[in-house]
Amino acid sequence: MSIPNEYLNGLMERVIARDPAEPEFHQAVREVLTSLSPVVDAHPEYITSGVMDSLVEPERIITFRVPWEDDQGVVHINRGYRVQFNSAIGPYKGGLRFHPSVNQGIIKFLGFEQIFKNSLTGLPIGGGKGGSDFDPKGKSDAEVMRFCQSFMAELSKHIGPDTDVPAGDIGVGAREIGFMFGQYKRLRNEFTGTLTGKGLSYGGSLARTEATGFGLCYFTACMLKDAGKSFEGQTVVVSGSGNVATYACQKATEFGAKVVAMSDSNGYIYDKNGIDLDAIKQIKQVERKRIKVYVDTHPEAEYHEGCKGIWTIPCDIALPCATQNELNGDAAKALVANGCFLVAEGANMPCTPDAVDTLKAAGVLFGPAKAANAGGVAVSALEMSQNSMRFFWTFEEVDEHLKQIMTDLYKNASSAAAEYGMPGDLVAGANIAGFLKVANSMLAYGLV
């Protein structure tokens, strides 16, 4: 599908020609450039100044070798990445992903999205992302530690509290952040807030663990309120059972909804009585087992192999919280056919473009990731603030900030969409609102 603005359409073609093997990055850029067409029609200075061309080219990409030894003494070589995409409004900020599917295109797509998401939070943070094709699954703690230390041996040369502040993402939780922060501290001989998502005993923020999932529900609650509804009594399907999914399930349940399904990369569980989240936390966080063992202790629940079927479960609200492109056009049709009226993205870009089109055409309320899941990075920025102040806030204080940030973010995205003639289109609204602050800063700097 071509982009309405002719210049941006040509820019899209150049992005594809320059790096043809990066489909996820192309998908993310196409969505943003499509949303920005009416903005550059009204303000051609964003084109003539070079802002649009600069926006799609990372300021810096760092790729490096990560050698590590397993418990048998066998040497492995993985590849590490850090894409420092845009620092117009603050130090690069964005997570690290450890998953075998990681490649440069995926990290670029995530870093690109992060620019707008971070801007939307209203906090002074630029966009970046990193990771490795290392798979922590099935590795011992000692192996994960050796990998993380080797990864940080190189990454530490490129990050810092005022330069680039990484955090967690898929495959990078509290354990990995601990190993990496310890190594950073040792190599640099400094104790600063260079990583976020840290443990509470060494500079972490209360409510960071919960922030993305809780923030997703605060954002969804704003969408529901505008539609004259609430979470109360709604049936919800959440995909994934990692950090985002777990705390989305918790907050949706606290808000009076019933979450009936969750998944991992092997399959999904359906529990018509409502998911027992303590059991999920025990399985995924403590025992690090597959979600299918849930049915061993919950005989009324069903386990289904494969992930796609989760979207055929009847629900009012769907919260995809696992990974990119996990909800396709057919899944969207099944959701619509079963009466789902709201989809909000907890994961990054979990809905394919045809899924988004199907949902929008059917009038389903749609909350895009860069707005709906911005709570995690927002609280990461609050962790940075607390580290700089050498102080900490209570859980309630951080949670209150988070609620306010998600509410403001919803209002900003909503009003930007209305201002550019697309009322209710939160995809366009989030892209435009996120873009303007970054682009105006870039304009102020001149050609840099």
Residues near ligand NDP, by CB under 6 A: 168-171, 212, 240-245, 264-266, 307, 321-323, 326, 346-348, 373, 376
Q: Please, which residue, 7 or 98, has the CB nearer to ligand NDP?
A: 98
State the DSSP H helix or E strand holding residue 348, giving kind and residue range, or none if neither: none
Looking up tokens 């939780």 gives 173
Burial 291-314 (b: 16+ CB within 10 A, else e): bbebeeebeebebbeebbbbbbbe
Q: Please, which residue, 91 or 168, has the CB nearer to ligand NDP?
A: 168
**63: how many CB neighbours lie within 10 A of its CB?**
12
Q: What is the dihedral of CA 203, 207, 208, 209, to 10 degrees?
A: 110
Beta bridge partners of 75: 69
Question: To the nearest whole angstrom, how small is the minimum distance from the Cβ of residue 315 to ligand NDP?
Answer: 18
3-state secondary structure of 266: coil
Q: Please, which residue, 307 or 405, has the CB nearer to ligand NDP?
A: 307
Q: Please, which residue, 171 or 367, has the CB nearer to ligand NDP?
A: 171
Active site residue 251: no
Distance CA 281, CA 268 (A): 15
Distance CA 227, CA 154 (A): 49
Which residue intervals of 227-314 are DSSP H helices?
243-254, 277-281, 294-297
Q: Which residue is nearest to ligand NDP (CB)?
A: 242
Which residue intervals of 168-239 are DSSP H helices?
174-188, 208-226
Amino acid at 305: E
Q: Please, which residue, 234 or 243, has the CB nearer to ligand NDP?
A: 243
Question: To the nearest whole angstrom, how small is the minimum distance from the Cβ of residue 24 to ligand NDP?
Answer: 11
Question: To the nearest whole angstrom, how small is the minimum distance from the Cβ of residue 314 to ligand NDP?
Answer: 21
Contact criterion met (CB below 8 Å) for 301 and 313: no
Among candidate residues 93, 129, 251, 258, the one labeled active-site is: 129
Question: To the nearest whole angstrom, how small is the minimum distance from the Cβ of residue 320 to ligand NDP?
Answer: 9
Q: Where are the beta strands (DSSP E) in 2-102?
A: 60-69, 75-86, 92-98
Q: Please, which residue, 214 or 231, has the CB nearer to ligand NDP?
A: 214
Question: To the nearest whole angstrom, how small is the minimum distance from the Cβ of residue 136 to ligand NDP?
Answer: 9
Catalytic residues: 129
